[in-house]
Amino acid sequence: MLRIGLTGGIAAGKSVVARRLAERGAVLVDADVLARAAVEPGSEGLDAVVAAFGPEILGADGGLDRPALGRLVFADATARERLNAIVHPRVRAAAAALIEGSPEDAVVVEDIPLLVETGQAARFHLVVVVDAPDALRIERMVDHRGMERGDAARRIAAQVSRGDRLRAADAVLVNDRGVDELLAATEGLWRTRIVPFRDNLAAGRPADERPAVGGAARPTAGLAGTSRLADRIRGKLDAALPLGCSVAPDDAPDGAPDGAPDQTRTGLPADVVRAALRVVVPPGGAIDAASDAVAGAGFPRDERTSGHGRTPPTAPHRAADPAIDVTVTVGPALGAV
Q: Indicate the domain borders of the chain.
A: 2-203, 227-331
Q: What span, in angstroms and rounded, lies between the C-alpha atoms of 109 and 125? A: 11
Residues near 115 by Cβ (< 8 Å), separated by ≥ 6? Answer: 5, 6, 7, 121, 127, 168
**So what CATH class is 227-331?**
alpha beta
Q: How high is the pLDDT of residue 250?
A: 80
Supply the pLDDT for residue 264.
Answer: 45
| Tens-place pLDDT, residues 167-216 | 899 999 999 988 999 999 999 999 999 999 999 999 999 998 766 655 44
Per-residue pLDDT reduced to its tens digit, 256-266 = 344 333 344 45
What percentage of the chain exceeds 90 in pLDDT? 60
Task: Kindly report the pTM of this predicted structure.
Answer: 0.81
Domain 2-203 and domain 227-331 have a common topology: no
- Percent of the chain surpassing pLDDT 70: 85
- For 2-203, give the CATH class: alpha beta
Of 3, 9, 326, nearest to 173 by C-alpha is: 9
How far is the C-alpha of 168 from the C-alpha of 274, rounded, in Å? 17
Q: For residue 276, what pLDDT is reported?
A: 94
Tell me phi and psi for residue 276, to 5 degrees. Answer: -135, 130
